[in-house]
Structure 1
Amino acid sequence: MARPWLNVLAQVVPVPLGLLLSGALVWGATNADWSGTSSNSGNTWTAASAGLGNDSRKPMFSIEDMRPGDAGSNCARIKSNAEFPTALKLYSNSPNWPNDFQSFVNLRIEMGSGGTFGNCDGFTPHRTAFDGTLDEFVNLHTDFRTGVGPWTLPGKPPNSRSFRFAWKFSPSAPNGAQGETVNEVTFTWEARERE
């Protein structure tokens, strides 16, 4: 005699079994899809530099025992390694002086090409940057905003500008100027990105 529960089982089991097998086939088909990738690695961002240097290894001037009418000069070459155009200016951030001795030192600064520190041979002036007294330069040109210039340094090094500093101790320096000394003077070149 046939068992009725076996008939029910034979009718009910194929449906879940069929669903289970069809799900497995779908999963297998999805898992078998081919794919490909392409990458671009090693990406970095580095800021540019507006580095500036000069070829001096000691002060341009250390003059002793000056007499009225004495004169001299020296050159310096300024180099930029900036990869973008910059504006170059020259100024002095030296402290104010307590006497007027520096007003008897005449100073002429020219911007040009050629020449090196300690040797102005080959220097070709392009423009006079300053012509006055040392006192005027130090008091009037104290930072980038008030500095002389600007001169454009194009991007992509090497870029350079040469400067000739010519001084003369005034023939009209008074007797009271004997033995006087100016305070230490610092000449500063600064380059900023052109706007």
Structure 2
Amino acid sequence: MARPWLNVLAQVAPVPLGLLLSGALVWGATNADWSGTSSNSGNKWTSSALGLANDSKVPMFDVDDMHPGDTGSNCIRIASNADFPTALKLFSNSPNWPSNFQSFINLKIDVGSGGISGNCNGFTPHTSAFDGTLDQFVALYTDFRTGLGPWTLPGKPPNSLSFRFAWQFSPRAPDSAQSTDTNEVTFTWEAREHE
């Protein structure tokens, strides 16, 4: 004959046993090994910058009423804000010109220090960069690859170079050069990281 209390025990015993086992699992999970951490925060990366500026607010030249043999000059200072060495070049991306009038404008460019836009007093030449005609300059030096230079800007003060442009209207300019003007000319300096 079956014992009724055994049936009751068989039905009731699994509940406390299940509670006991789940409690043991929770206790084991909260009783983990010792641990420690060490952090190094605030890490970031910032790129450098390379910018050029010149000290001129107006064109270096706007010459009217030239006569054969007339001359003039002007200086301009080119400065870099880079804190690393850069290679500086000079070129002109002005379009090709339809006439040969520019061949009567002789152009000499010296590179050095001192002098400011509008005033070459104190300019000290270090090297001659170009001695030819305006049309030769525009035709030959059209981008960074073909430009004059390079000259190194060191990435620390003084991080600039001065350029002196001297021009002469050729004494041999013919009568056909009267009442003629050049196209506008843009002189461009470009600096790239020194390799």
TMscore range, shorter length: 0.7 to 0.9
Per the TM alignment, residue 128 of structure 1 is displaced from its structure 2 partner at its CA by 0.9
Contact kept in structure 2, 1:81 and 1:158, CA below 8 Å: no
Instruction: Tell me the equivalent position of 1:180.
Output: 180
Residue 24 (structure 2) aligns with: 25
How far apart in 2 are the matches of 1:41 and 1:140? 53
Q: Which blocks of at least 5 consecutive residues in structure 1 are unaligned?
A: none
Task: Name the SS for the 1:112 alignment partner.
Answer: strand
Query: 1:22, 1:59 → 2: CA distance?
Result: 90
Quick one: percent identity of the two aligned structures?
64
CA offset at residue 23 of structure 1?
3.4
Question: Distance between the aligned counterparts of 2:98 and 2:6, measured in 1?
Answer: 120
Q: Give 1:56-75 correspondences, 5 Å limit.
A: 56-75=56-75
- Deviation digits for residues 82-137 of structure 1 (CA, Å, limit 9, x no counterpart): 24332211011112222222111111111111211111122111111111111110
Aligned residue in 2 for 1:4: 3
Whether contact under 8 Å (1:80, 1:158) holds in the other structure is no
AA partner of residue 3 (structure 2): P
Indicate whether 1:52 and 2:52 are aligned: yes
Q: Separation in 2 of the partners of 1:144 and 1:36?
A: 56
How many residue pairs get matched? 193
CA distance in 2, matches of 1:25, 1:73: 94
Within 1, Cα distance between the matches of 2:53 and 2:68? 34
Q: What is the alpha-carbon root mean square deviation over aligned residues?
A: 2.6
**Letter in structure 2 aligned against 1:103:** S
Cα deviation, residue 148, structure 1: 0.4
